[in-house]
Amino acid sequence: MKITIRSYFGMEIDVIDDTILSDIKGLSTNYSHFSIKNKSFVISDSFKIEKITNILSDRFEENKDITFFVKEEKKDCSYNILAFYNE
């Protein structure tokens, strides 16, 4: 599975290739932070953690890519997920 990270206005920032479920750390907790292959993400207040968990699980089962639209947080070296697109 490929995860494409884009800015909120659509510019590609990064791509995480060959992602497997075990690459995701911290998503099963009730915290709004998780990481994928050493890239940190913060779940926006507009999403429930369960929703992101379910969507990523479905994507892995179907082996389909996903795009995250984010606001980059330079000081925390993390991405704040604002929206996502299932390709």
Per-residue model confidence as pLDDT tens digits over 47-62: 777 887 888 888 888 9
> pTM here?
0.83
CA distance 52 to 42: 11
The Cα 70–Cα 8 span in angstroms is 5
pLDDT band at 29 (very low <50, low <70, confident <90, very high): low
In SS3 terms, 5-33 reads as EEECCCCEEEEECCCCHHHEECCCCCCCE
d(CA 38, CA 23): 9
Are the beta carbons of 60 and 72 closer than 8 angstroms? Answer: no
pLDDT, one tens digit per residue, over 60-77 is: 889 899 999 998 876 667
